[in-house]
Amino acid sequence: MKSLVLLAATVATLMAADPRLPKYTREQLPNGVVLYFLPKPSVPLVNFRILVRGGVESEPTGLAGISTATAQLLRSGSTRRTAAKFSEELDSLGGTFLAAANPQYVMVASEFLKKDFAAGLDLTADALLHPTFPEAEVKKVIARATDTVKGQKDNPQAAIGPYFNAFFYGSNHPYGRPTSEATLAKIDRAAIAAYAQQAYAGKNLVVIVAGDFDTPTATAALRETFAKTPAGTAFTPAKDVKPTAGAHLLLIDKPDATQTYFRIGQQGIARTSPDRTAITLINTLFGGRFTSMLNDALRVSSGLTYGANSIVDENRLPGAITIATYTKTETTEKAIDMALDQLKALNEKGITAAQLASAKAFVKGTYPTRYLETADQLAGMLGDIEVYGLNKGEVDDLFSRIDAVTLEQANAIAKKYYQPKDLTFVVLGNAGKIRDVVKKYAPSMQEVKASAPGFGN
Amino acid sequence: MKRYFKFLPAALLATMLGTTAHAGGVSDKEIVLGTHLDLSGPVAAGMPHLRNGMQMRIDEVNEAGGINGRKLRIVVEDNGSQPQLAVRAVDKLIRSDDVFAIVNPFGSGPNAAAVKKSVDAGVLYFSPWAASSVIQQISGNSPLLFTTTPNYNTVMHKGVDWMVKKYGSKKVGYIYQEGPLGDLMGAGVKSAVQANGLTLVAEAGYKVADIDFSSQVARMKAAGTDLIVIATVTRETVGIMSEVKKLGWKDVKVLTGNPGRTGIVLQLGKDTVEGLYGVGVWKAGTEAPEVKGWKDNFKKRFNNMEPDENALLSYVYTDWFPATALDLMFDMEADRMRNLAFDPKIIESERGVVYSERRTSVDNSNQGLLYEQLRAAAFTAHPYHWPVVGWPSDIESWSMDDLKAHYKMGYAPNNCVMVVVGAVTEARIMELAKKYLEPLPQQPPPPAIRTKEPEQNGERRVTIRKPAQLPIQLIGYHTPEGKHADTTALEVIDAILTAGQSSRLYARLVDKDQLALNVGARPEASLDPGLYIFNITPRAGIDTAKTEAALFEEIEKLRTTPVPADELRKAKNQLLTQQYRQLKTIAGRANLLGTFEVFFGDYNKLFTQGKDIEAITPADVQRVAAKYFTQNNRTVATLIPEAK
């Protein structure tokens, strides 16, 4: 009776209503600050999510890590509060405050009880708009960031990402300059203050309020809070920068490793690519879920790994499509060959109508809880819509975009983007045991020691 | 009356291809379905059963809260047994009623004419009562068509084959309705005849609306037929039997297929159809209790109408339609709790997978490696000594029998708690739980853990030296099981020490003394007494003697000095807002309920947790800290980087 049950599932999928963004409003203040309000009163919490356009892309050459360090220092002293006072007030409210940089923006996200709306906004805005970057605090943050970079090397899965980015994108690309001991050493208070003044300007700010709040009160408060922010100069992102990716291999030697971690990358897409929907479906089947080609082959059928997947970068500039997995040292070659076989199979044979239908159902079925369930998820979605110049069709038309992908289109996309050639390999493991095995995968091979500072850059 | 209904499993043609479905007919309040039945015409007499079977299931679904809160409503149109009327009915259902799907439409001819219109409009066509493979073909194998009627050729092949073998029939004749019904049944009749080394001695067709079958039956008689197979529905079945009786023809048997083998034929034909054989999907006379219960329910709903097999089938097919993902989830949970496949090949590959998990989370993870050693040292007797993923030699040597025994012990309904959160009703969930989970057999409960960890009477130390950039320090104290009264106070202590950058440990170790990159704690919910573990990543080059000394000083303060009121207030606020954060998602809610039920003994404690936290006093904090955070009760595990 298996078919009967599958049938029921299909029917259920068909009956699920298409997701829609809840009602929200957007306005722009004269100084350029964009305000969003999205009420979602399911729990008595309110979220402030502030995006500062620029992020890693806006870092001055040689100062990789400055956007993250600046973001971390926002809470470490303002014209009205010391670092300790900020933490004391925040924790007393049971609030959270997170500041981090991604490739195209810095995100400051805080969350408070509904009743603490005013106090929460005051804390968040004070950190964002009036930081003083005390010298002592700058030193602490830079010193900790330096140890964080070191500590990443103790965790191969965390370390291989920056190595891959440096190697795939190259140092001329903003995504190819990971934070290292050397770049952090050049960051001082003066550099941070100068960077913050330029970056945290009205024209770069997107302020999103989502969750349980009173809209008229919130609108008035936000307008007042951000009206006086200097407009400054809008960040203009670099254009037409391409990864230097190609057929080459980076080997990172970690002599105590008993597993080999590897990534195999090729040119992918930008967040706004028209091919994105089809790639999402193809990647779901190739390595985006548990029952995928890669995981079936490398995990389920052969037991070579705990998990194998495929990642599609989705940033402003075109990024990578990357196979990522690991295996014990002895099966390095077998696992890499098997991953490449799957890539070749996808490229040559494509997918079937049944697979496409399954991917469509999977993406639709997992979408609401991945992106639309909580106020902070919705705030994240609005932020993406603003930063990437999208509109609410990003959510509202998603299912019809998915439905519109035909088998022919999907297979053309598979052929175009999943090519078994010109691949960038990054391999981390015991080089003494795998060097001779992996060198065949690319015409050129570089080798670095995991214990050396930096990420091969 | 003598009749024989052979049971055939429903051969379901579920198509799983990609679909572009129409989302009409679905609003916040309801889902509109449509159907077309032969409300007039030669088979009209059988329609009330079919219609009521469908209505009964729809009513039940609505009574249980509908589908995700939406009620089902069905619009019934008449196809008059005529193809062109069926097309018109489907057109009306789509255009004017905006139906989400067409469900249980009747008749091979009408469905053959109308199916394309529906699927071309993107409207789901579910369970047409018709020649399935023909309808599939006409629809262009549309993924929007789901057929449930077993193919008539298969059914007829089995029926004819059985008759020939059982009664030694030598001369088989065939009377059929012209069109898809007769074509498909004929294919099965012919293949069965051929398979028995016979040939069909006579064939005679009739048209849907015909009422006189004398010529067809006469042709059978002339050919010396001893078995007449008839591809008929309602009125024609009776008509042909009546002709046979009229001729006083005794040495012949008559076999009809599933459409003609219905209760309504018996009701209409009475003595005339005595001696008719039928083949179909449902074994008549089944008096299983669930069938009896269903029949009683049907009669109660429909003014004492006696249901026939079409009423039941219509009910069943309708049931398949609104089945949501919930049915699938329950079916899968029940299936894996009872029928786990132990495939030696998969077991071997899974062994590799688990070993890879161990290599990733333990062998190549400094945190994982140290954590395993800490627990192994802190627990000398209790099974918490063992890592969940297993020691390498365990992974290498577990056997199929080990797995089977463990599966049988653990994966039993009496050993599980199921939490369902989301757009569901209790009535629906209980209905599904009764259907899928209740039949699962109980197993003896897992053996009680008799071994208790003896009291620790002195600090233990574990050291790992390996190539690393940064040291790690894990310091564990034995703490009671989750159900223990001190659990809430320990949570408050955890907030005081580690929640936020104003917490005592962050402020001291990370910020003020700059000894650590980060510091946290790992309160674990456990069934038996467990560990409360502090986790410190010292800064590069920092002597771990300094980090632990700073930690012990802070712990000593907590043991000896009452926590100030505003600091306690802060910790409570953090815990209370944290609760709301966990309630944001349906998964978070399910997880909380499950955790409270399993580890804290009662999900209801979730609803009093706020009050329980509020009740903690500075004296509670001090008492609990003094009780558990003692030198003798701790295990200190340190990873010291070694130059490579």
User: What would the two tokens of residue B412 be?
Assistant: 């039993």
pLDDT of the residue at A239: 85
C-alpha Rg value of chain B to the nearest Å = 36
Q: Tens of pLDDT along A85-96? A: 999 999 999 999
Quickly count: other Cβ atoms within 10 Å of residue A2's Cβ: 10
Q: Is residue B16 in a domain?
A: yes
Q: What is the pLDDT of residues B496-548, one digit of tens each?
A: 999 999 999 999 999 999 999 999 997 888 999 999 999 999 999 999 999 99
Residues A145-154 pLDDT 10s: 999 999 999 9
Amino acid at residue number B99: V
Is residue A242 classed as helix, strand or coil in its secondary structure? coil
Residue B564 is assigned to a structural domain of this protein: yes
Q: Which of B501, B569, B579 to mutate to test the interface with A (most CBs of A within 10 A)?
A: B501
Interface test with B, best of A3, A6, A40, A43 (most B CBs within 10 A): A43
φ/ψ (deg, to 5) at B364: -110, 20
CATH number at residue B428: 3.30.830.10
Give yes or no: residues B637 and B607 share one domain.
yes
Does the residue B580 lie in any domain?
A: yes
Element (H, E) at B327: helix B325-338
| Structure-token pair, residue B348 | 């071997």
Label residue B9 by pLDDT band (50, 70, 90): very low
How do residues B341-351 score in pLDDT, each as one tens digit?
Answer: 999 999 999 99
Q: Are B588 and B638 in contact (CB under 8 A)?
A: no
Residue B36 lies in a domain: yes
The architecture (CATH level 2) of A248-449 comes to: 2-Layer Sandwich (3.30)
User: What kind and span of H or E run contains B5?
Assistant: strand B5-6
Q: What is the ipTM of this complex?
A: 0.92
On whether any CB of chain B is under 8 Å from the CB of A44, the answer is yes
Give B365-413 as a DSSP string. -HHHHHHHHHHHHH-SSSGGGS-TT--HHHHHH--HHHHHHHHHHHSSG
Q: Which of B374, B373, B359, B258 is nearest to B317 (CA)?
A: B258
Cβ atoms within 10 Å of B95's Cβ, excluding its own: 11
pLDDT digits (tens, 9 = 90+) for B277-324: 988 766 555 566 777 888 888 999 998 888 887 888 888 888 877 666
Does residue B331 surpass a pLDDT of 50? yes
**Per-domain residue ranges for chain A?**
25-227, 248-449
Looking at B257, B288, B323, which one is the last position of a domain?
B323
Predicted local confidence at residue B361, as pLDDT: 96
Q: Look at residue A245 in the predicted model and tell me its pLDDT.
A: 81
pLDDT at residue A7 in the model: 32
* B327/A75 CB distance under 8 A: no
Full DSSP string of B135-155: HHHHTTS-TTEEB-SPPHHHH
Q: In whole angstroms, what is the distance from residue A250 CA to residue A425 CA?
A: 6
Q: Name every chain A residue with its beta carbon within 8 A of the beta carbon of B330.
A: none
- Confirm whether A25-227 and A248-449 share one CATH topology: yes
**Same domain membership, residue B145 and residue B158:** no
Q: Do B16 and A10 touch (CB under 8 A)?
A: yes
Residue B20 has pLDDT above 50, yes or no: no
With cut-offs at 50, 70 and 90, classify the pLDDT of residue B243: very high
Tell me the residue type at B518: N
Contact in structure between B49 and B301 (CB atoms under 8 Å): no
A91 and B569 within 8 Å at the Cβ level: the answer is: no
| Structure-token pair, residue A255 | 């002599």
Q: Which of A13, A147, A353 sits opposite B539 (nearest CB)?
A: A147
Of A10, A112, A256, the CB nearest to B466: A256
CA distances for B633 relative to B422, B484, B546, angstroms: 43, 18, 20
What would the pLDDT profile of B350-377 be if each residue is shown by its tens digit? 999 999 999 999 999 999 999 999 999 9
Q: Test A154 with B469 for CB contact under 8 angstroms.
A: yes
Any chain B CB within 8 A of the CB of A143?
A: yes
Q: How far is A363 from chain B (nearest CA, A)?
A: 13
pLDDT band at B264 (very low <50, low <70, confident <90, very high): confident
Question: Which of A43, A92, A144 has its CB closest to that of B517?
Answer: A144
* Residue among B26, B359, B573 minimizing CB distance to A94: B573
Distance (Å, rounded) from C-alpha B65 to C-alpha B428? Answer: 7
pLDDT above 50: residue B14:
no
* Partners of A321 in beta bridges: A266, A312
End-to-end, the C-alpha distance of chain B in Å comes to 93
Q: Flag if A451 and B644 touch (Cβ within 8 Å).
A: yes
pLDDT at B8: 27
C-beta separation of B61 from B322 below 8 A: yes
Q: Is the pLDDT of residue A361 over 60?
A: yes
Instruction: Tell whether B442 is covered by a domain.
Output: no
pLDDT value at position B407?
Answer: 93
pLDDT in tens, A266-318: 999 999 999 999 999 999 999 999 999 999 999 999 999 999 999 999 999 99
- Does A256 contact B at CB distance below 8 Å? yes
What's the CA gap between B161 and B127, in Å, rounded? 27
Domain housing B350: 344-437
Is 60 exceeded by the pLDDT of residue B123?
yes
Shared domain for B119 and B162, answered yes or no, is no
C-alpha dihedral, A348 to A353 to A357 to A359, nearest 10°: -10
- Picking from B132, B44, B145, B37, the residue whose alpha carbon sits closest to that of residue B89 is B37
Say if residues A138 and A83 touch (Cβ distance below 8 Å): no
Distances (CA, A) of B317 to B47, B310, B320, B321, B445: 15, 10, 5, 7, 39
Mean pLDDT, to the nearest integer, of A51-55?
97
Smallest CA–CA distance, residue A258 to chain B, in Å, is: 7
Same domain, B497 and B612: yes
Sequence-distant (≥ 6) Cβ neighbours of residue B240 within 8 angstroms: B175, B213, B216, B217, B228, B230, B232, B254
Give the C-alpha distances (Å, rounded to integers) separating A451 from A164, A396, B470, B641. 16, 48, 11, 12
A314-335 residue pLDDT tens = 999 999 999 999 999 999 999 9
Inform me whether the C-beta atom of residue A5 falls under 8 Å from chain B C-beta atoms.
yes
Q: Pick from B322, B284, B316, B327: which is nearest to B149 by CA?
A: B316
- Examine the fold and report which residue of B225, B255, B280 is the final residue of a domain before the chain moves on: B280
List CB contacts (< 8 A) between B17 and chain A: 353-354, 357
**pLDDT higher than threshold 60 for residue A4:** no
What pLDDT, on a 0 to 100 scale, did the predictor assign at position B324? 66
Nearest by CB: B500 against A91, A140, A255: A91
CA distance B433 to chain A (A): 16
pLDDT at position A30, please?
98
Q: Let me know if residue B199 belongs to a domain.
A: yes
Distance spanning both ends of chain A, measured CA to CA: 57
Higher per-residue confidence, B629 vs B149: B629
- Best probe of the A interface among B118, B353, B494, B537, by most A CBs < 10 A, is B353
Residues B162 and B258 grouped into a single domain? yes
**A360–B contact, CB cutoff 8 A:** yes
CA angle, corner B536, sides to B530 and B539, nearest 5?
170
Contacts of A182 (CB under 8 A, 6+ apart): A453, A454
Instruction: Output the CA torsion A145→A149→A152→A157 (10° steps).
Output: 110
What pLDDT does residue A9 have? Answer: 32
Q: The domain that contains B236 carries what CATH number?
A: 3.40.50.2300
Claim to verify: residue B230 and residue B360 sit in the same structural domain: no
- For residue B177, the cross-strand partners are B206
Segment A340-353 mean pLDDT = 96
- Three-state SS for A275? coil
Question: For residue A42, what pLDDT is reported?
Answer: 86
Q: How far is B461 from chain A (nearest CA, A)?
A: 22
Position A224 pLDDT exceeds 90: yes
Q: Is A258 on the interface with B (CB under 8 A)?
A: yes
CA nearest to A451, candidates A38, A213, A133, A159: A159
Report the alpha-carbon distance of residue A108 to residue A124 in Å, rounded: 8
pLDDT number for residue A29: 98
Question: Helix, strand, coil % (nearest 5) of chain A?
Answer: 50, 20, 30
Total domains in the fold of chain B: 4
Q: Tokens at residue B252, please?
A: 């012949």
pLDDT over 70, % of chain B: 94
Please report where in the chains the tokens 């997107």 appear, as a residue.
A206
| Same structural domain, B526 and B630 | yes
Is B328 among the domain residues? no
- pLDDT of amino acid B643: 75
- Residues 175-234 (A) with a CB less than 8 A from some CB of B: none
- Is B601 within the bounds of a domain? yes
The least confident of B289-293, B572-576, B577-581 is B289-293
Residue B459 in this model has a pLDDT that exceeds 90: yes
Residues, chain A, total?
457
- Asked if A221 contacts A121 with a C-beta cutoff of 8 angstroms, the reply is yes
Contact A7 B466 (CB under 8 A): no
What pLDDT, on the 0 to 100 scale, is given for residue A319?
A: 96
Mean pLDDT over B40-65 rounds to: 87
Cα angle B379, B385, B390; round to 5: 165
CA dist A310 and A298 (Å) reads: 12
In the beta sheet, which residues pair with residue A27?
A: A35
Evaluate whether the domain defined by A25-227 bears CATH number 3.30.830.10. yes
Nearest to A151 among B351, B365, B470 (CB): B470
Interchain CB distance below 8 Å, A151 and B351: no
